[in-house]
């Protein structure tokens, strides 16, 4: 456990001096506004990191939980990453760590053209929220295998984009909800260094009220309303963005009494 804390401290220490010199390194740095979004709130887009770029993200969710992730652009088409986290990290209680490191891989098959969207395929094993060991799933299931299409456009005076995809999550061993799922989303970058992201996940693989035994209730499943999430990003510097997230606005989760609020911090740079 001490090793994990040490690694997190090293990551933070390495980021701080780079932020203070970001404007002096324009030739070596990339503004987040110059790159397409790779994720909305929980849903992927067709965007990938350019070759030689990396990002480090910290996500804080209810209960003092946190997930740390890093992604690297191995080529202009291929991005890989790892993530790890746990519950009660930001609390006065003993942390409960997730059972394993999770992985992310995305490959852009088709570049975006004037009248055709960019298309990427990928795999993401990292879910969001608490890992519920008794149900062998995260609060919000991981994407698993997915295909996603993205198309950018101008909306009013904003740079915007729409995103639609299909996925198959592997978090179905316990509840046996192995349906294909569909999702869509929207992002827009506007003045004052702000950006809006919105997404809707149909959650067709997370909408049954009963477990397979037809006796016990699926208390961590959805109600069939899907997950509607919104986020506001603030580009603090060219390399650092802060994000406030509101999730499950329809209160789809059966164990939830209110919407979910999260904070995400993301840093991007190049080697």
Residues 46-92 have pLDDT tens digits of 999 999 999 999 999 998 999 999 999 999 999 999 999 999 999 99
**Nearest alpha carbon to residue 168 among 136, 124, 200, 135:** 124
**pLDDT (mean) for 228-251:** 95
**Direct distance between the N- and C-terminal alpha carbons of the chain, in angstroms, rounded to an integer:** 28
62-71, 159-168, 193-202, 212-221: segment of lowest average pLDDT? 212-221
pLDDT of residue 4: 46
Q: Which residue has the higher pLDDT, 153 or 46?
A: 46
Q: How high is the mean pLDDT of the chain?
A: 88
**pLDDT (mean) for 170-192:** 92
Q: Which residue has the higher pLDDT, 249 or 15?
A: 249
pLDDT of residue 32: 61
Give, in degrees to the nearest 5, the angle at Cα 91 between 90 and 97: 65
**pLDDT (mean) for 195-214:** 91
Q: How confident is the model at residue 13 (pLDDT cuts 50, 70, 90)?
A: very low
Q: How confident is the model at residue 29 (pLDDT cuts 50, 70, 90)?
A: very low
Residue 191 has pLDDT above 80, yes or no: no
In Å, what is the CA distance from 218 to each residue of 4, 16, 143, 214, 222? 34, 44, 20, 10, 8
**Nearest alpha carbon to residue 140 among 150, 158, 128, 130:** 128
Q: What is the pTM for the complete model shown?
A: 0.85
How many other CB atoms are there within 10 angstroms of residue 92's CB atom? 6
Chain centre to alpha carbon of residue 193: 20
Residue 211 has pLDDT above 90, yes or no: no
């Amino acid at each position: 456990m001490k090793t994990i804390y040490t690694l997190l401290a090293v990551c933070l220490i390495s980021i701080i001096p780079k932020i203070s010199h970001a404007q002096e390194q324009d030739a070596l740095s990339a503004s987040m506004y110059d790159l397409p979004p790779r994720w909305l709130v929980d849903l992927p887009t067709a965007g990938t990191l350019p070759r030689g770029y990396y990002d480090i993200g910290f996500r804080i969710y209810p209960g003092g939980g946190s997930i740390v992730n890093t992604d690297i652009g191995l080529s202009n088409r291929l991005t890989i990453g790892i993530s790890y986290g746990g519950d009660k990290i930001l609390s006065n209680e003993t942390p409960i760590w997730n059972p394993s490191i999770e992985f992310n891989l995305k490959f852009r098959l088709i570049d975006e053209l004037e009248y055709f969207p960019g298309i990427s395929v990928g795999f993401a094993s990292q879910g969001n929220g608490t890992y519920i060991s008794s149900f062998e799933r995260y609060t919000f299931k991981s994407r698993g295998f997915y295909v996603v299409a993205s198309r950018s456009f101008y909306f009013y005076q904003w740079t915007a984009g729409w995103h639609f995809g299909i996925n198959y999550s592997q978090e179905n061993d316990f509840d046996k909800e192995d349906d294909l799922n569909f999702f869509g989303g929207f992002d827009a970058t506007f003045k004052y260094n702000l950006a809006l992201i919105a997404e809707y996940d149909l959650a067709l693989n997370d909408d049954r009220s009963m477990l397979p035994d037809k006796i016990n209730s699926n208390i961590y499943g959805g109600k069939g309303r899907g997950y509607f999430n919104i986020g506001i990003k603030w580009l603090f510097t060219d390399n650092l963005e802060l994000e406030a997230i509101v999730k499950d606005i329809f209160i789809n989760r059966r164990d939830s009494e209110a919407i979910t609020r999260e904070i995400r911090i993301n840093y991007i740079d190049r080697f």
